[in-house]
Amino acid sequence: MFGKKDKAPEASAATTAGAGSTGLSGDTKIKDWLAHPQGGPILRKMLAEAGQDASQLKPVQGFAMKRLIPMSKGQFSEEKIAELVAMAEAYDPATAGEEPAAAAPAAEEQPEDEAFDLPEFEEKVTDGRFVGKTLIITGAGSGIGRATASRVAREGGRVIAVDLNEAGLDEFIAEHPGLDIVKVVANITKQEDVDAVVAAAGDVIDGLANIAGIMDNMTPLHEVTDEMWDKVIAVNTTGLFKLSRAVIPFMLERHAGSIVNITSEAGLRGSAAGLAYTASKHAVVGITKSSAFMYGPQGIRVNAVAPGPVITGIGASFDSPMAAKRIQTAMAVLPTPVGPESLAASISFLLSDDGHNLNGVILPSDGGWSAV
Ligand X SMILES: NC(=O)c1ccc[n+]([C@@H]2O[C@H](COP(=O)([O-])OP(=O)(O)OC[C@H]3O[C@@H](n4cnc5c(N)ncnc54)[C@H](O)[C@@H]3O)[C@@H](O)[C@H]2O)c1
Q: Which are the contacts of 136, defined by CB distance < 8 A and separation ≥ 6?
A: 160, 162, 197, 198, 201, 205, 207, 208, 209, 243, 247
Cβ–Cβ contacts within 10 Å for residue 245, how many?
12
* Of 5, 183, 281, 295, catalytic: 281
Q: Does 46 bind ligand X (CB under 6 A)?
A: no
Which one among 38, 142, 219, 352 touches ligand X, defined by CB under 6 A? 142
Q: Residue 332 CB, nearest distance to ligand X (Å)?
A: 17
* Of 91, 133, 277, 295, catalytic: 277
Q: CA–CA separation, 92 vs 86, rounded Å?
A: 12
Centroid of chain to Cα 242: 23
φ, ψ dihedrals at 307, nearest 5°: -75, 150
For the chain, the straight-line distance linking the first and the last C-alpha, in angstroms and rounded, comes to 20
Q: Does 168 bind ligand X (CB under 6 A)?
A: yes
Q: Which are the contacts of 251, defined by CB distance < 8 A and separation ≥ 6?
A: 205, 257, 259, 295, 299, 300
- Would you call 281 a catalytic residue per the annotation? yes
DSSP 8-state secondary structure symbol assigned to residue 139: T
Q: CA–CA separation, 267 vs 361, rounded Å?
A: 13
Q: Does 85 bind ligand X (CB under 6 A)?
A: no
Positions in 263-292 near ligand X (CB under 6 A): 264
The bridge status of strand 300-307 relative to strand 158-163 is unpaired
Q: Does 144 bind ligand X (CB under 6 A)?
A: yes
Which region among 107-115, 245-253, 303-311, 355-363 touches ligand X (by CB under 6 A)?
Answer: 303-311
Please say which residue, 45 or 245, places its beta carbon nearer to ligand X: 245
Q: Residue 262 CB, nearest distance to ligand X (Å)?
A: 4
Q: Does 307 bind ligand X (CB under 6 A)?
A: yes
Which one among 12, 165, 336, 370 touches ligand X, defined by CB under 6 A? 165
Q: Does 309 bind ligand X (CB under 6 A)?
A: yes
Q: Does 143 bind ligand X (CB under 6 A)?
A: yes
Q: Does 219 bind ligand X (CB under 6 A)?
A: no
Q: How many residues bind ligand X (CB under 6 A)?
A: 31
Q: Does 314 bind ligand X (CB under 6 A)?
A: yes
Which one among 239, 257, 274, 364 touches ligand X, defined by CB under 6 A? 239
Q: Residue 1 CB, nearest distance to ligand X (Å)?
A: 4
Q: Residue 234 CB, nearest distance to ligand X (Å)?
A: 7
Which one among 235, 260, 275, 279 touches ligand X, defined by CB under 6 A? 235
Q: Is the dihedral of CA 114, 116, 121, 122 positive or negative?
A: positive
Q: Residue 217 CB, nearest distance to ligand X (Å)?
A: 14
Positions in 187-216 near ligand X (CB under 6 A): 187-189, 211-214
Residue 170 parent element (H or E)? helix 166-174
Q: Residue 6 CB, nearest distance to ligand X (Å)?
A: 8
Q: CA–CA separation, 278 vs 266, rounded Å?
A: 5
Q: Does 164 bind ligand X (CB under 6 A)?
A: yes
- Would you call 29 a catalytic residue per the annotation? no
Please say which residue, 18 or 337, places its beta carbon nearer to ligand X: 337
Q: CA–CA separation, 160 vs 201, rounded Å?
A: 6
b/e sequence 172-211, b meaning 16+ C-beta within 10 Å: bbeeeeebebbbbbbebbeeebbeebbebbeeebbbbbbb
Residues contributing to the site for ligand X (CB under 6 A): 1, 138-139, 141-145, 163-165, 168, 186-189, 211-214, 235, 239, 262, 264, 307, 309-310, 312-314, 340
Task: Report, as residue numbers or ranges, the catalytic residues.
Answer: 277, 281
